[in-house]
């Protein structure tokens, strides 16, 4: 349920539908639901349930600390009027601490498959890792199996299109452990040439979670092609450690 709630979709899909599908796949049985007095259906095993109405009134939300550990923008958001609260016996209130590992995981984990899907449209994508330094949101490492000389560059553009908030992406070969930042950096220093293996894009839609973006919300983005050169013998590039 938490993972589904952290997802966002281009189509008008109810997160509860996704939660039910994930629950069925993981546990082999339907997600139990119950109906609130206002008619809204919620997970039956929820610790707390608040029900109410979204009003036509807007008010300031924030300031508060977000996933980067910095203070996010104050935004005008709809006011919710809570009509009731129910809870289980001896309930546990599960709070997410802003900017900590659980927050980053829940935000970043749903982005990896969308990036992988986008990259898979242009080349063979094996895996995607949202980096810890990128707060699980602003940076990723993409592993591909290269079958054409321009696959690395195509993967960069596809990955940035697959997650519009992302600011930096590194593309590596299938022999690199993308969850290990040391191995990713090793791939860069042994396979990447800054002057010809780098993509820099200006005036791109940025994330409000990036305090370095321009006042109009635009930012620059960068991609590093740290894959093996296409037209040389690869033997000298392979690690023997």
Can you say how many angstroms the Cα of residue 117 is from the centroid of all Cα atoms in its chain? 13
Contact 129, 104 (CB under 8 A): no
* Nearest-10 Cα torsion for 24, 29, 31, 35: 140
Which CA distances in Å does 87 have to 36, 90, 94?
A: 12, 8, 12
**Catalytic member of 59, 66, 210, 231:** 66
Query: Is there a catalytic annotation at residue 66?
Result: yes
What do you get for the CA distance between the two ends of the chain, in Å? 42
Find out whether 53 and 28 touch, Cβ atoms under 8 Å: no
> ∠ at Cα 138 (185, 19), nearest 5°?
115
Report the sign of the C-alpha dihedral through residues 150, 155, 161, 167, in that order.
negative
Q: State how far the Cα of 152 lies from the Cα of 144, in Å rounded to an integer.
A: 8
Counting other chains too, the contacts that 87-93 makes at CB distance below 8 Å and 24 or more residues apart are 87/47, 87/48, 87/49, 88/45, 88/46, 88/47, 88/48, 91/47, 91/48, 92/47, 93/47, 93/48
Which residues participate in catalysis according to the annotation? Answer: 66
């Amino acid at each position: 349920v938490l993972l589904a709630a952290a997802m966002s979709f281009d189509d008008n899909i109810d997160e509860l539908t996704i939660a039910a599908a994930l629950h069925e796949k993981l546990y082999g049985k339907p997600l139990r639901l119950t109906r609130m007095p206002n008619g809204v259906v919620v997970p039956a095993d929820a610790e707390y349930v608040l029900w109410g109405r979204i009003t036509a009134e807007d008010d300031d939300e924030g300031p508060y600390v977000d996933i980067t550990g910095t203070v996010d923008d104050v935004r005008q958001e709809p006011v919710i009027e809570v009509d009731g609260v129910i809870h289980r016996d001896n309930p546990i209130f599960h709070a997410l601490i802003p900017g900590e590992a659980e927050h980053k995981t829940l935000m970043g984990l749903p982005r990896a498959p969308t990036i992988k899907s986008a990259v898979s449209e242009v080349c063979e994508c094996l895996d995607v890792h949202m980096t810890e330094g990128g707060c699980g949101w602003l940076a990723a490492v993409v592993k591909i199996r290269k079958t054409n000389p321009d696959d690395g560059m195509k993967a960069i553009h596809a990955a940035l299109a697959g997650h519009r908030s992302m600011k930096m992406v590194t593309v590596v070969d299938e022999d690199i452990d993308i969850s290990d930042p040391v191995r990713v950096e090793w791939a860069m220093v042994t396979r990447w040439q800054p002057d010809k293996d780098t993509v820099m894009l200006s005036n791109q839609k940025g994330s409000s979670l990036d305090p370095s973006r321009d006042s109009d919300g635009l930012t620059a983005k960068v991609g590093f092609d740290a894959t093996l050169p296409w037209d040389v013998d690869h033997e000298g590039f392979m690690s023997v450690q």
